[in-house]
Amino acid sequence: MTISREVRLKSRPVGLPSPETFELASVDVPEPGRGEAQVRNIWMSVDPYMRGRMMEAKSYVAPYQVGKVMDGAAIGEVVTSRDRALSPGDLVLSGFGWRERFNAPVGMLTKLDTRDVPAQAYLGVAGMTGLTAYVGLLKIAALKDGDVVFVSAASGAVGSIACQIAKLKGHTVIGSAGGPEKCAFLREIGVDHVIDYKAEENLTKALMRTAPDGIDVYFDNVGGAHLDAALASSRTFARFAECGMISQYNNTSPGEGLKNIGVVVPRKLRIEGFIVSDHLDQQPAFQKDMTQWIAQAKIHWRETVDEGIENAAGAFLKLFSGDNFGKMLVKLA
Amino acid sequence: MTISREVRLKSRPVGLPSPETFELASVDVPEPGRGEAQVRNIWMSVDPYMRGRMMEAKSYVAPYQVGKVMDGAAIGEVVTSRDRALSPGDLVLSGFGWRERFNAPVGMLTKLDTRDVPAQAYLGVAGMTGLTAYVGLLKIAALKDGDVVFVSAASGAVGSIACQIAKLKGHTVIGSAGGPEKCAFLREIGVDHVIDYKAEENLTKALMRTAPDGIDVYFDNVGGAHLDAALASSRTFARFAECGMISQYNNTSPGEGLKNIGVVVPRKLRIEGFIVSDHLDQQPAFQKDMTQWIAQAKIHWRETVDEGIENAAGAFLKLFSGDNFGKMLVKLA
């Protein structure tokens, strides 16, 4: 028997999650059964979409259950295997985050190739995070030559990859982020025009000043005032890839509401929400492109790493305060 | 010389247009030049999109100019022709509405075939109005088997055609209109579930009660609370054909704002604005289908007819008060 600590949903949060939302517990992990492996997690991911799973409402993924361990993406090392497909020491990607150790059928574990890509990058730039940026830009927004691209939360895990893919494809990119440090990073990765939204009183005016001829693509991670600004600045036939609305996830009331939706008709906009798991057909193309871009040092990324399962809830909360920088990770071992 | 009365934009309206917005004037119409015809208008169309053209802002059609005659779709009779393509007595469709008589190059006039379709129907069901419904449903919303379709302003010129096309294609249709008379008409044309929005305190609750399993397609003519209700009731992968937002056109401030846009991401919605003139490639298919439907009495429509150019402004205002029923027309001769 081995002890594993895990994080459970203690109660469903109203508004911003608090210490009352999470509960740290210990469980015994038995020996793995036939066809299973035991994995010791090394890295786990915290992601904005998990806020949605804390609510009871049915959505595109099942809600977390009160009193039960949460889940999410994690990378771990196989410690025991009862299947020939995996051996001790193998690094695997799984959906069994928010815990230190677990048993799972080997079919639920993806063995990783870490020759060119560091393991934890499979939770970010080389994983679902990067694929989200890739799908949103190339498939949902259907990026085409000459498009001016606006990305919000542009220094974030998804946003920073979206900016760089757009730059690699030759586009003018406008990125918004909060604070001088994040804005400096955007300039480092080649973003053409940077908006520090925390320094702007009126985001719509800031964007219209930055993109006087308007934008053709908006990669939205934020919603709210950012979405209104993008609507105001949109050119005819602009496409909005709606990836997330982190500014809204902890709202307890609908708040102000979106003011500028009226332009959708005369400007013939397309506003489309997407969830990466519906677009796994893009995975092979993404894997090929991204592995090459990483090998050629054409893609840069930041990570914020907190240590220990006991700090996972705090790491999650940084996603909403903006205290993380780039991909937020928790190192478990 | 012949006198023609015409309606000019007197001043740009703020909010709802008023008598100060319009000015009736008389002009002399000379004999037509070579290659031209002189047309006496019989019918003219007033349409919601004209409200947008009264504003100075550049949009998908040029704004009306203060002090100048307005324009729009009209049907008239050729009185003199100086080109072999047209003869006196021919009925023609043109963009020279808001006036009684005019000269134009014959290339700007479309001769009408009125054997199966009454002339004024080319301003409605058999013209751009019908094509708008056709394109919005079949191309923008990409209607597919089993879709539940919600149409707002469902007794209106575009809405009533959209409802009937959806019924002809075998769909469950929910229509909203204001008042018992319009709602009765919706039942007559086969709409499955009718919402009298004027009788409902909370449109979102009314729609969720009417479509407990949600909607797959929303054909939006109204915006505002209707759009919010459709968002709340949307099923995964629902498509919104954004045709118009008549509830918003006379707003002098953005008002309350859209509350429910947040569902666009988890439900993976596609919200797309369109203007019929970008989709004239659909005209041949539409013409074929619609002529057949009309000949087989499968499509029904209502018209509200006001008489005289001096009443054109009043007819236009009925579009916003809802005092029209179906296609709003002005009979000029």
Inform me whether the pLDDT recorded for A218 exceeds 90: yes
A15-64 residue pLDDT tens: 999 889 999 999 999 999 999 999 999 999 999 899 989 998 877 788 99
Closest residue of B to A245, CA-based?
A: B262
- Residue A213 distance to chain B (closest CA, Å): 13
Instruction: Provide the pLDDT confidence category of residue B37 given band limits of 50, 70 and 90.
Output: very high
At A248 the pLDDT is: 82
CATH number for the region B128-277 comes to 3.40.50.720
Find out whether A168 and A293 touch, Cβ atoms under 8 Å: yes
Separation CA B134–CA A2 (nearest Å): 65
The alpha carbon of residue B60 is apart from the nearest alpha carbon of chain A, in Å, by 6
Reported as a pLDDT band with limits 50, 70 and 90, residue B247 is confident
pLDDT recorded at residue A256: 78
Q: Which residues in chain A have their CB less than 8 angstroms from residue B263's CB?
A: 273
Three-state secondary structure of A98-153: CECEEEEEHHHCEECCCCCCCHHHHHCCCCHHHHHHHHHHHHHCCCCCCCEEEECC
Nearest residue, CB atoms, B274 vs list A243, A260, A268: A268
Flag whether pLDDT at A116 surpasses 90.
no
Count of A–B CB contacts within 8 Å? 98
Domain ranges of chain B: 2-120+301-331, 128-277
Confidence of residue B57 (pLDDT cuts 50, 70, 90): confident
CB contact under 8 A, A272 and B264: yes
Residue B75 has pLDDT above 90, yes or no: yes
For residues A269 and A239, the answer to whether their CB atoms sit within 8 Å is: yes
pLDDT digits (tens, 9 = 90+) for B131-188: 999 999 999 999 999 999 999 999 999 999 999 999 999 999 999 999 999 999 999 9
Mean pLDDT to the nearest integer, A304-330: 93
CB contact under 8 A, A227 and B261: yes
Mean pLDDT for the stretch of residues A154-176: 97
Helix, strand or coil, per DSSP, at residue B155: coil
| pLDDT tens-digit series, residues A230-267 | 999 999 999 999 999 988 877 776 667 999 999 999 99
Question: Are A273 and B275 an interchain contact pair (Cβ–Cβ within 8 Å)?
Answer: no
How does A102-116 read in b/e, with b if 16+ C-beta sit within 10 Å? bbbebeebeebeeee
CB contacts, 8 Å: B268 with chain A: 60, 272-275, 278
Residue A1: predicted pLDDT: 73
Q: What percent of chain B has pLDDT over 90?
A: 87
Mean pLDDT across B207-223: 97
- Judged by CB atoms closer than 8 Å, whether chains meet at A273 and B274 is answered as no
Question: Residues in chain B whose beta carbon is closer than 8 A to a beta carbon of chain A?
Answer: 52, 59-60, 223, 227, 236, 242-245, 248, 254, 256-275, 278
> Which pLDDT score is estimated for A115?
85
Tell me what pLDDT residue B272 has. Answer: 98
A225, closest residue in chain B (CA to CA):
B257
| Model confidence at A202: pLDDT above 80 | yes
Minimal CA separation from B214 to chain A, in Å: 14
Q: Tell me how far apart the alpha carbons of residues A137 and B331 are, in angstroms, rounded to a whole number.
A: 50
pLDDT value of residue A325:
87
Residue B1 pLDDT more than 90?
no
CA B133 to centroid of chain Cα atoms: 9
Confidence at residue B62, expressed as pLDDT on a 0 to 100 scale: 86
Is the separation of the CB atoms in B141 and B217 below 8 Å?
Answer: yes
| Predicted local confidence at residue B184, as pLDDT | 97
Instruction: Give the residue from A10, A48, A38, A28 showing the smallest Cα distance to A223.
Output: A48
- Residues A186 and A175: their CA atoms lie apart, in Å, by 7
| Cβ–Cβ gap A272/B269 under 8 Å | yes
CB atoms B264 and A275 under 8 Å:
no
CA distance B145 to B167: 12
Select the residue of B254, B258, B262 nearest A245 (Cβ to Cβ): B262
Interface predicted TM-score (ipTM) = 0.89
Per DSSP, the three-state class of A314 is helix
Distance CA B91, CA B37 (A): 12
Q: Say yes or no: domain B2-120+301-331 is CATH 3.90.180.10.
A: yes
Across the interface, which of B59, B242, B256 has its CB nearest the CB of A264? B242
CB contact under 8 A, A244 and B262: no
Residue A253 DSSP one-character state: S
Asked whether the beta carbons of residue B272 and residue A270 sit closer than 8 angstroms, the reply is yes
- A258 vs B257: CB contact, 8 Å cut-off? yes
pTM, full prediction:
0.90
Backbone angle region of A293, left / alpha / beta, with phi > 0 → left and psi within -120 to 50 → alpha: alpha
Question: Which of B265, B269, B274 lies at the smallest CB-CB distance from A244?
Answer: B265
Q: Is the pLDDT of residue A79 over 90?
A: yes
Helix (H, G, I), strand (E, B) or coil at A287: helix
**From residue B159, how far is each of A39, B75, B94, B301 by CA, in Å?**
58, 22, 23, 10
As given in the structure block, the two tokens for residue B104 are 């134009």
Closest CA to A204 of A180, A228, A238, A168: A228
Rounded CA gap, B38 and B104, in Å?
Answer: 7
What is the predicted pLDDT for the residue at B254? 62
Nearest CA in chain A to B242: A265
Q: A interface toward B at CB cutoff 8 Å? A: 52, 59-60, 223, 227, 236, 242-245, 248, 254, 256-275, 278
Q: Which two tokens stand for residue B180?
A: 């018992």
Q: How far is B47 from chain A (nearest CA, A)?
A: 14
pLDDT range class, residue B65, cuts 50, 70, 90: very high
Determine whether the interchain pair A52/B266 forms a contact, defined as Cβ–Cβ distance below 8 Å. yes
The secondary structure of B236-298, three-state, reads EEEEEEECCCHHHCCCCCCCCCECCHHHHCCCCCEEEECCHHHHHHHHHHHHHHHHHHHHCCC
Nearest CA in chain B to A251: B262
> What residues in A contact B213, CB-CB < 8 Å?
none
B194-211, pLDDT tens digit by residue?
Answer: 999 999 999 999 999 999
The residues pairing with B148 across neighbouring beta strands, listed in sequence order, are B172
Distance from CA of A268 to the nearest CA of B (A): 4
Is residue A70 over pLDDT 90? Answer: yes
Measure Cα distances from B114 to B85, B92, B122, B303, B331 in Å: 17, 10, 9, 17, 17
From the centroid of its chain, how far is CA A152? 13
Q: What is the pLDDT of residue B322?
A: 83
Q: How far apart are CA A223 and CA A234, in angstroms?
A: 15
At residue B309, does pLDDT exceed 90? yes
CB B141 within 8 A of CB B239: yes
* CA–CA distance, A331 with A315 (Å, rounded to integer): 11
